A and B are shown apart, each in its own frame.
Chain A
Amino acid sequence: MSEKIYCGRGTAARGDPVSTDSETRRYPLYQLYFYLTDECNLACRHCWIAPKYQNATKATSFLPIDLFVSIIREAQPLGLMTVKLTGGEPLLHPQFAEMVDIVKREGLKLVLETNGTLMASEIAEAIASCKNTFVSVSLDGTDATTHEWVRGVPGSYDTACAGVRHLADAGLRPQVIMTVMRRNRDQIGEMVRLAEWLGAGSVKFNLLQPTSRGKQMHHSGEALEIRELIALGQWVERDLAPTTTLNLIYDHPPAFRPLSRMFGDHGDGCSVCGIFSILGVLSDGSYALCGIGESLSEMIFGHARTDRLVDIWEHTPMLGEIRGGLPEKLEGVCGRCLMKGRCLGSCLAQNYYRSGDLWEPYWFCEEAERAGIFPETRKVGRGAGAEEHLGTLVSEPPS
């Protein structure tokens, strides 16, 4: 199934495979996600990976740098363009600065996900000197009490804010990421003001995923209900976004996003998981779908010491299943969604974590459907009513 969005004067098509080789589609490996360590200097109550807490500035368990180099070397002929450094907290890696130098030397785009607490001006400048660098820093409250309630470590609010500042001073426009939950929902507007003040370029509001530690928060009522999440998303996109020059991203699936926010003159596209072109590397050198491999052993596909990357990338059965099945095999409301060719089930790792089935619908969409508030205009329906076929106005998405 193909899909295209007509934007008046331009078009935006999904990232389809770039070439065809005989009868087989070939998939470039554009991006590697390096989970540099399975340790973190914060103890966030919502973390979907749940690394070991390490009250230190250096990790004791981390990806050997020789593997980092050899994996990059193996990935470049497969199409590697971008390296994401994440964790655990990636700045805990004792050779983090060398890794940044390697990424720069190889001319790769650098993406960094950090809690910001270990960011110093020198390393910020090194990061900024890489090609097209993109850095995100997590801030879960606009005051120390809230942020540190989420992050579990006193003093982490001030150091995280200082980290954003260092990045901004180095010439970057870092993204502030806030995971939305009951405790901080009233600080969303203030977070935009704080991000402006710190010199950020954008703010992303993440959903609290029901995975690992986040699962417990969903059970205990610390996560927002689906109606609250949808209403909040509408408020962010329709009311809050026009009040700032920062790009605001509310991370609900495309089915819930106004087309104008994705494809209008000031649209930000349609941020989705690039599952066809990404592979994860865990801190022990294992290859995995992504960080979900830390929780689910069946999502680990091999090891960089013993397996050739090209074999992992081209012959792992689960990757083949995903490439062959997306988006047509998606089930439930995701299978009936008009945006499925773009959304690709939002996050297959999350879907699999919940059910053990790759093709299960995304929890957010499933809950919305169950509550009767999934946008009707975004669902497949041939015979829903004659008025649809006459090309007249059908309905607004439920508010």
Chain B
Amino acid sequence: MEKVLVVEDELSLQKAIVDVLGITGYTALGASDGEEGLLLAQKEKPDLILLDIILPKMNGFDVLKRLKEDETTKAIPVIMLTNLESSGDIEQALSLGAMTYLVKTNYELDDIMKRVKDTLAKAKKAA
């Protein structure tokens, strides 16, 4: 079973995503701040990470940068899942190596699950 890590500080959102991932058939892990997210990623080696930007302790950009610097986590695809939406934020996330940038309010959970599935399939093919 594929493992997906959700780094999201807003517990109601984390719960919804983790629940739907579980229902869809993934093993879902939740982290509520940037540091916890980074540690879990290094320890658990998930197959995909859903990453928020505004996070306590370490923001999403820094988490993403550290993930991409670390040889053991470099290859894990990261989808940014955030409510920020300026061209600067989008460019920064993509240039740091995020696969996609999704704005939370504009996506149904089903759409997000579809993205997760497609991204995992793409990553598998590339490996």
Q: Do A and B come from one complex?
A: no
* Interface residues of A, Cβ cutoff 8 Å to B: none
> B: which residues have CB within 8 A of A?
none
